[in-house]
Amino acid sequence: MAFAIDSRRIGFALLAAVATAVLVWFGTGLFPQWPLMWFAPLPILLFASRSSWWAAGLTAFAAWTAGDLNLWHYFTVALHGPLGVRVEIAAAPALVIALAVLLYRALLLRGAYWSALIAFPAVWVSFEYIFNLTSPHGTAISLAYSQLNFLPMLQLASITGPWGISFLLLSFSSAMAIGIHLRASAPSQALRIVSVTVGVLAAVLIFGAVRLALPPPPRQDVKVGLLASDLPENSDVAAPGAETERVLQDYAAQAEALVARGAQVIVLPEHMGEIVDPSTADADEIFQSLADKTGSTIVVGIGHLSPHVKYNQARVYAPLAPVASYNKQHLLPPFESEFTPGRTLTTPGNSIATVSKPTGTWGVEICKDMDFTGLSRQYGQMNVGLMLVPAWDFDLDRFAHGHIAVMRGVESGFGIARAARRGYLTVSDNRGRILAETESNSAPFATLLADLPAVHDNTIYLMFGDWFAWVVLATLCFTLVRVMGSRAH
């Protein structure tokens, strides 16, 4: 009999682990299927209520680790991450989930059902937020990005940033697990918990649907041109001198063709070549003369070397204006360790770049900068309505990393024109709708021409920042005090 009971428990643990692992595998990663993450934690939460604490923690850790292995190939092949780093990337989030499950279980068994409901998402969102503050990868681990294609839910980012989306996503499974646990012993309590959670979710989706349906304010569209090449001769960084000049001339010819089709602003990819002080005039002349002749604005990603410092830079060529520049602030280790990061708003010339136009204010960031909420909020507070983003992705992550930027537009109220080699050329509006997109390898020189509303939208997140994340941290502290001050039934 004992053997039969143990076999059932082991079978239940394996079933829960496999179910969660499969849902996490396909619900996150490089091409996430957004509905799956709403149910991914449910099996391990159900198991936790019927098992010992160590079995619950071990099952949750194993399940989430297995699910996170969906990125193992990417970190191995594209990023060439050391084995230890790859193990850490898979295991650290799984450890946090295991701790979240254990806190949920402890509160559930103590009869603190409402605390259990919020404890599970609070642990994870607190981890997301602290990781964002301390890691060079910013918000990249956020589960909110699994919902980028769920546009009504995405609108919550305009209030809470990514933190609210992750919290509500995990709260749903937590509520369902508590409802199932209480369905026989306390059906009224189960119904209240599930009803409140579903009610909040419904309110969020109604808000999102209304926000998407609202007629846009009076606006003037900007015709944006994006350009990238994945040709072998353009796929790496051109050496300073003749090689960089050749690449820039090739791009300039393609840019001129886009201007002839009506492009008012053109964005080229990140770090296409390198220019060295003091010999930058020749490279600048290629695009400045084109901007002066056509009246268009051109943003070019380049490595800018001086005797003492090297920047990953975007140079902005506006008609009959001095060359402006923006230096990338968030660099990808170890690939960009050679560069000095751009600094803060107090550092003149390399912290932020804006262009004033009749259609409003445009801003400039570079690739990984868009993984962080703070810099985009600074631009949003300057009423930027259009963000111009040179980028360089890794083929495999063209969807996952390329679309992270979309959430910044929802949070801080601007449209985005992002041109990535080995990725996508993407135009999205301030609601997160992708208006036009094509792959950078779709032609020898892939081009995209689209009308984009350059209208700024004030959002609650823009005004109050990470207020929701701080509420979650306070909530987590409350649940920890609650669990230490009570006993299991």
Every domain of the chain and the residues it spans = 2-214+467-484, 221-454
In the chain, the N- to C-terminal Cα span, in Å, equals 26
Cα separation, 68 vs 14, whole angstroms? 17
Which CATH superfamily groups domain 221-454? Answer: Carbon-nitrogen hydrolase (3.60.110.10)
Cα separation, 254 vs 247, whole angstroms? 11
The string of pLDDT tens digits covering residues 138-188 is: 999 999 999 999 999 999 999 999 999 999 999 999 999 999 999 999 999
The string of pLDDT tens digits covering residues 438-481 is: 999 999 999 999 999 999 999 999 999 999 999 999 999 999 99
Residue 461: closest CA among 405, 386, 410, 385? 410
Q: Residue 206: is it exposed, middle or buried by C-beta count within 10 angstroms (0-12/13-18/19+)? A: exposed
7-13 long-range contacts, Cβ below 8 Å, gap at least 24?
9/51, 9/55, 12/47, 12/50, 12/51, 13/47, 13/51, 13/55, 13/59
Query: Length of the chain in residues, anyone?
Result: 489
Q: Which pTM does this prediction carry?
A: 0.94
403, 453 Cβ separation under 8 angstroms: no
Cα separation, 446 vs 96, whole angstroms? 42
Residue 306: closest CA among 334, 325, 331, 332? 325
Centre a 10 Å sphere on the Cβ of residue 184 and count the other Cβ atoms it contains: 8
Cα separation, 346 vs 243, whole angstroms? 35
Q: Is the peptide bond before 333 cis (omega within 30 degrees of 0)?
A: no
Mean pLDDT for back-to-back runs of 10 residues, the chain (489 residues): 65 94 97 97 96 95 96 87 80 96 96 96 98 94 97 98 98 98 94 98 98 86 96 87 94 96 97 91 93 96 92 96 94 91 57 88 97 96 97 95 97 98 97 97 96 94 97 96 75
